[in-house]
Chains A and B, each alone.
Chain A
Amino acid sequence: MSVVVIGAGPAGIRAVETLLAHGLRPVWIDEAPRAGGQIYRRPPANFRRKPGVLYGFEAAKARRLHAAADAAGQLADYRPSTLVWDIAESRLQTAGSDGLGTVPFDAMILATGATDRVIPFPGWTLPGVFSLGGAQIALKAQGVAIGRHCVFFGTSPLLYLVAYQYAKAGAHVAAVLDTSPAAAKRRALPRLLAGGSALAKGLYYVAWLKARGIAMASGIEPMEILGTSRASGLRYRNSAGDECEVVSDALAFGFGLRSETQLADLAGCRFRFDPLNRQWLPETDEDGRALDPGNIYLAGDGVGISGADAAELAGERAALALLADRAIAVPDARRRWIARRLARAKDFRQGLEQAFPFPEYLARRIADGTVLCRCEVVTAGALRASVAGIGADELNRAKAYSRVGMGRCQGRVCGAAAAEVLAAALGGEIASVGRLRSQPPVKPLPMGLL
């Protein structure tokens, strides 16, 4: 039986490890050259910083996960630096350094992870503006800061983590600006207690930043990234409603994460709208089995955001389900233990959503002239015009008319905001505008390969 695991972040690593422990040798495919995923991303081999410096409180976890990945990589049919660009009829199409390939499979675990959830603002395409996750990667995987005076804005636990990591590494953090009001965090506290040490760490980062006098504000509203050929600052409204400006040559922002679902879509998974994530997600049962087709399993942030710890558990759970479905004996007690832990992780995630609510009102009222799709420079106004132009009542019609979501990223970056804009233009709920259909190749392929 040929089993494929896609993704080598926390979920993919634990899935492969579990399959190997039960006698299956999967094909394991990942885009990155080294296993670890994004949050435990490893720098190139010639970098010297110790895990304590790279991963802080999570250093021991990172070390364990990387050791597991390296051991699993030796035993599995591991194919790093390889993109899966299409899935059809139980075959994967791959592109790697050795060219194009086809991988047939009987069963597959998708652990495709997530990227930053973004809301476009005037000026967001200027050099010097990055996603929050991108800013973290610059520091962790390359040892660089995104600029001399860094402003971090948006809302999520990552906002404070990245600011802390930057300041700790010696970068100048000019401001940390959170769209969520302070009161939302106070209200969320009881639910956040389910996160245990995760809550303690978050509070520590905030206290650490405060103690060093780093400017922080809650309940702000970003208005415009300033600059003409490079970013030079941010104009925003503070919680009292006053306009403020902060000077900065580098800005990073994000509003939580969104799941990467293109491969699940191409594989034919059934999707449902998930109100917590405000996203259409592949539908699974409580073990991570896709409801349809039955030979696909999903785990980690690619099927709803719940973080790295939950992803490790979900990766193992999906592998155990796959094994059990093929009459391979798996420990029931372990499955029940994982289910309990993941239920707690879900409570914590709901608390986080309460503490760092996605400001959909900002997305819904993006000005007509603001660039929504950065791939092809299509404005929010052009997307809205699809409603009057062709009576677009869902995203794919609106895409055909406006080209929003048709660029090289296939809506990875603008899709979440585009759905909010269209829903608001139609006076409806975000669920009602559907989701962008995925197209192969899911990412551009270098011409030399074709």
Chain B
Amino acid sequence: MSEAAQGGQFVRLAEIERRRIFIALGDRRIEALEGDSLLTALLVAGGRIRQSEFADGPRAGFCLMGACQDCWVSLADGRRLRACTTLAEDGMALEPIA
């Protein structure tokens, strides 16, 4: 299977009756549900959340419990957030993912 064609990493299995919200990812607008962590929102929509700053490729978090620090992302205003412990909010604007 082609890796690029796989779409989102996470698959919703339950709790889909929540209010829809939208997040900006650079020019791209992605749909999420209220109560999603930022990591969930990003990984339902795609297959990565950031590039490793050590140039070894894309990353998509690892521990999901605030321990590994692998999922820090940047808001468009420059603030940094840990995606697994931050709730996605309607209208949030993030830096695009390289």
Contact = CB atoms under 8 A, between A and B. Distances in A.
A binds B: yes
B62 A129 contact: yes
Contacts, number: 158
Interface string A137-158: 1110111111110000000000
B19 to A, nearest CB: 8
Nearest to B40: A142
B3 A413 contact: no
Interface string A354-398: 000000000000000001001111000000000000000000000
Interface in A38-54: 38, 43-49, 53
- Which of A126, A146, A230, A376 has the most CB atoms of chain B within a 10 A radius of its CB? A230
Contact of A413 (B18, B59, B67, B72): B67
Given A48-B17, A232-B1, A376 B54 contact: yes
Per DSSP, chain B at the interface is loop
B87 interface: yes
Interface stretch (A68-76, A315-323, A440-448): A440-448
A116 B3 contact: no
27 contacts: A47-B18, A48-B15, A48-B17, A115-B67, A116-B63, A125-B57, A128-B47, A130-B61, A130-B62, A130-B64, A131-B68, A134-B62, A134-B65, A138-B40, A138-B64, A142-B35, A143-B16, A144-B40, A229-B47, A371-B56, A377-B56, A408-B72, A413-B63, A413-B68, A444-B82, A446-B79, A448-B79
B62 A144 contact: no
Interface string A388-422: 00000000000000000001110011000000000
A142 B37 contact: yes
A145 B56 contact: no
B64 A131 contact: yes
Given A138-B40, A447-B79, A127 B9 contact: yes
Interface in B32-56: 34-37, 40, 43-44, 47-49, 52, 54, 56
A171 interface: yes
Contact of B62 (A38, A45, A49, A131): A131
